[in-house]
């Protein structure tokens, strides 16, 4: 019996019967408790923030606010991820900008790559788009089998199709052949065979082969994200899809353009970049 899976199943029951506003507050309190108890988690988020703001004379209390907010935001997005298992299309709370750009990209009949990153709520975003009729697919990390099965049920509930990273080649072919949208998280090298690039004041590895496929196959690309909004806003999330574009230069040019987009987004929402892994190259 996988205790982590059982705990999440119990959490699903909890979020199903508890009103969202109350569950949201509880998730924030629990997240702050994890922040206090997890030294490793704190150190890794602080490391991320120090690389992001290396050239800025930021006061330590501001860094600490970003640190705590990152944990709280993670707790809130995890709450929404657990809710995906029983939500319907009318339960989403999203202020969406640029949804029409996906339709524009699919008019080329080559499929479309949605470049995203570990910021905000990427699973919620994919499910939201699928619920709006977008032919969504996504590359996902392979976890322990029981956990992977649970997560797949959540992710595919609204019609999104998922592919494990070990089948990335097939996922791209399926996307092109069926003129679908394939979401790819480009800010982390999960397979461990990536390309090292400059990232803020440090170095990180990004997925290998992504640029080659996009350039060689002449695939349209859109950048997208979905982030939590301040609590006083009408909608819980803000979603954005950029206009479609093609890349005709080198793979290095593509990687630099992708990283520049990611850096801009992280600077805008530094407490929603939720990477708790130690992925900096030293």
Summarised one tens digit per residue, pLDDT across range 202-246 is: 999 999 999 999 999 999 999 999 999 999 999 999 999 999 999
pLDDT band at residue 5 using 50, 70 and 90 as cut-offs: confident
User: 245 pairs with which residues across the strands?
Assistant: 221
Under the banding of pLDDT at 50, 70 and 90, the label for residue 115 is very high
* 279 belongs to a structural domain: no
What is the side-by-side order of every strand in the sheet holding 112-116? 94-97, 237-241, 221-228, 112-116, 181-185, 136-140, 161-164
Q: What is the mean pLDDT of residues 75-98?
A: 95
How many structural domains is the chain composed of? 1
Q: What percent of the chain has pLDDT over 90?
A: 85
Phi-psi region of 49 (alpha: psi -120 to 50; beta: other; left: phi over 0): alpha
- Structural tokens at position 127: 């499910």
Within 10 angstroms of residue 37's Cβ, the number of other Cβ atoms is: 9
The three-state secondary structure class of 281 is coil
Q: Is residue 233 part of a domain?
A: yes
On whether residue 170 sits in a domain, the answer given is: yes
Whether residue 278 is contained in a domain is answered as: no
Query: Rg of the chain's alpha carbons, rounded to an integer?
Result: 18
Residue 242: inside a domain, yes or no? yes
pLDDT at 105: 98
pTM > 0.85? yes
d(CA 28, CA 34): 10
On whether residue 281 sits in a domain, the answer given is no
pLDDT digits (tens, 9 = 90+) for 191-208: 889 999 999 999 999 999
Range of the domain at 134: 3-272
């Amino acid at each position: 019996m996988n205790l982590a899976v059982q705990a999440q199943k119990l959490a699903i029951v909890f979020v199903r019967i508890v009103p969202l506003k109350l569950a949201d507050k509880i998730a924030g309190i629990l997240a702050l408790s994890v922040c206090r108890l997890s030294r490793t988690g704190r150190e890794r988020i602080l490391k991320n923030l120090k690389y992001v703001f290396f050239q800025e004379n930021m006061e330590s209390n501001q860094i600490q606010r970003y640190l705590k907010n990152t944990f709280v935001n993670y707790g809130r997005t995890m709450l929404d991820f657990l809710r995906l298992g029983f939500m319907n299309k009318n339960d989403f709370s999203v202020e969406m900008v640029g949804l029409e750009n996906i339709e524009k990209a699919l008019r080329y009949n080559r499929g479309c790559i949605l470049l995203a990153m570990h910021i905000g709520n990427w699973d919620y975003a994919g499910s939201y788009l699928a619920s709006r009729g977008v032919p969504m697919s996504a590359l996902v990390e392979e976890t322990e089998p029981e956990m992977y099965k649970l997560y797949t049920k959540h992710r595919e509930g609204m019609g999104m199709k998922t592919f494990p990273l070990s089948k990335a080649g097939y996922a791209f072919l399926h996307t092109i052949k069926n003129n679908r949208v394939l979401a790819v998280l480009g800010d982390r090298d999960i397979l461990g065979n990536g390309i090292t690039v400059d990232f803020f004041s440090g170095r990180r590895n990004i997925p290998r082969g992504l640029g080659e496929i996009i350039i060689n196959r002449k695939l349209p690309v859109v950048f997208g994200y979905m982030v939590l909004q301040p609590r006083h806003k009408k909608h819980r999330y803000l979603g954005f899809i950029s206009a479609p574009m093609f890349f005709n230069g080198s793979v290095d040019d593509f990687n630099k353009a992708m990283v520049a987009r990611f850096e801009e987004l992280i600077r805008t929402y530094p407490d929603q970049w939720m990477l708790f892994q130690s992925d900096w190259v030293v």
